[in-house]
Structure 1
């Protein structure tokens, strides 16, 4: 059975998933009257940017290492990893310093993971649909 999901259904479901992540982080702030977990949103929103910026670099065919990932792509992956790790560790550091409670830490971490994963899935969905359109357009 070939089950096709329309692109609009995917976009709406991913938007709902993203809204759930924002809701969790905002509730972790508002319920406990402490707005430190909002920094987590900023970190997870910045996390995909280095990968997106550095993945567009072109590799030179004259380069002897042309079959490997270029240094700029490695740098983008490293910076993305730093942001994701910081986003996961930030609520734990706030909890350790007793700036937020344990439930706020859990909600903020879970909300940040949902935000980052929905951004990654969203960009993967559009990247794969753009490649398919380019193939069908000129193929």
Structure 2
């Protein structure tokens, strides 16, 4: 039962992050901050695609290509994370959205990304504990 409390807390923080992003659009009558949500959907795709491509390598590869494919996936994921945080700033700088909407979208994005990282660390610790490492 002790493992359930962190999951509930992280889910609550994730919901607050999404609420901030949605409110940054709805309160100010401009729905451009919702472009950040599309970024949240696209962010895990490079790691998933490149990880799948490296695991299905042929017998002729020496492993060097697979690590470069994984590195490319990590680079693209990092680029999308930074873009998700910087996109509201660019929109506010160009006058498309207001500065309070930008602040709410950035804080919501940081909460969402932080929660996803914490979920990953939490489940990684559980798998290592179950395997005895």
Normalising by the residue count of structure 2, what TM-score does the alignment of the two structures yield? 0.82
Gaps of 5+ in 2: none
Counterpart selection for 2:28 from 20, 28, 32: 32
Gaps of 5+ in 1: none
The Cα of 1:99 is off from its aligned counterpart by 1.1
Query: Where do residues 90-105 of structure 1 align in structure 2 (5 Å cutoff)?
Result: 90-105=87-102
CA offsets 1:95-132 (integer angstroms, 9 cap, x no match) = 12211000000110110111111111112211221232
Query: Where do residues 1-139 of structure 1 align in structure 2 (5 Å cutoff)?
Result: 6-55=2-51, 57-58=54-55, 63=62, 70-133=67-130, 135-136=131-132
The Cα of 1:13 is off from its aligned counterpart by 0.4
In 1: Cα distance, 2:122 partner to 2:45 partner: 16
Structure with greater proportional helix content: 2
In 1: Cα distance, 2:17 partner to 2:119 partner: 14
Q: Call closer, same or farther: CA 1:70–1:28 in 2, change over 3 Å.
A: same
In 2: Cα distance, 1:103 partner to 1:80 partner: 27
| Aligned residues: CA RMSD | 2.6
Normalising by the residue count of structure 1, what TM-score does the alignment of the two structures yield? 0.79
